[in-house]
Amino acid sequence: MKKTTRRMTKQRKKILEVLKATKSHPTADWIYDQVKKEIPNISLGTIYRNLNVLREMGEIIELSYGSSYSRFDANTENHYHFTCLECGLVQDVDFEVDLDMDKKVNMAIEGDVKYHRCEFFGYCKECK
Ligand code: ZN
Ligand code: MN
């Protein structure tokens, strides 16, 4: 039987490296600009494709915001984000994931929550 696990190609490795080195939750365009410095012949399409593969591999998470561009995060631990409505900054919120919320939802739906996502929106320190 053939292995279906994806290999870590040179391009994929570089993309992951770029993403791990930043806390800015960049867009694919930004990642493209960084990776291009070392792999000049890479295309934006390849970046998108590899970001998808990395997401499927569980190496990164994708933060999607409806109509605007997705942002990517190499921190795959469950954590909260704050997005500035003025400058678009996306930052980590450094407090622990509230597990009591999972319990409340469990009671409400009589089910079993595995995780939840939480996003805050407003104005950052510079913009408020
Ligand atoms: Zn701001
Ligand atoms: Mn994050």
Give residue 65's pLDDT: 80
CA–CA gap between residue 25 and residue 30 (Å, rounded): 10
Please give all residues whose CB falls under 5 A of ion ligand 1, grouped by chain where several chains appear. 84, 86-87, 89, 124, 127
- Check pLDDT > 50 for residue 14: yes
CATH of domain 80-122: 3.30.1490.190
Q: Tell me what the pLDDT averaged over the chain comes to.
A: 92
- Check pLDDT > 80 for residue 121: yes
Distance from Cα 69 to the centre of ligand 1, integer Å: 17
Mean per-residue pLDDT for 72-76? 95
Tell me the pLDDT band of 4, cut-offs 50, 70 and 90.
low
Tokens of 72: 């990517």
Mean per-residue pLDDT for 70-94? 94
Ligand nearest to the Cα of 117, by number: 2
Please give all residues whose CB falls under 5 A of ion ligand 2, grouped by chain where several chains appear. 73, 75, 92
Strand order in the sheet with 80-84: 90-93, 80-84, 119-122
Q: What is the pLDDT of residues 40-65, one digit of tens each?
A: 999 999 999 999 999 999 999 999 88
Distance from Cα 54 to the centre of ligand 1, integer Å: 29
CATH of domain 10-73: 1.10.10.10
Of 7-11, 66-70, 119-123, the one with minimum mean pLDDT is 66-70
Distance from Cα 53 to the centre of ligand 1, integer Å: 31
Domain boundaries of the chain, sorted by first residue: 10-73, 80-122
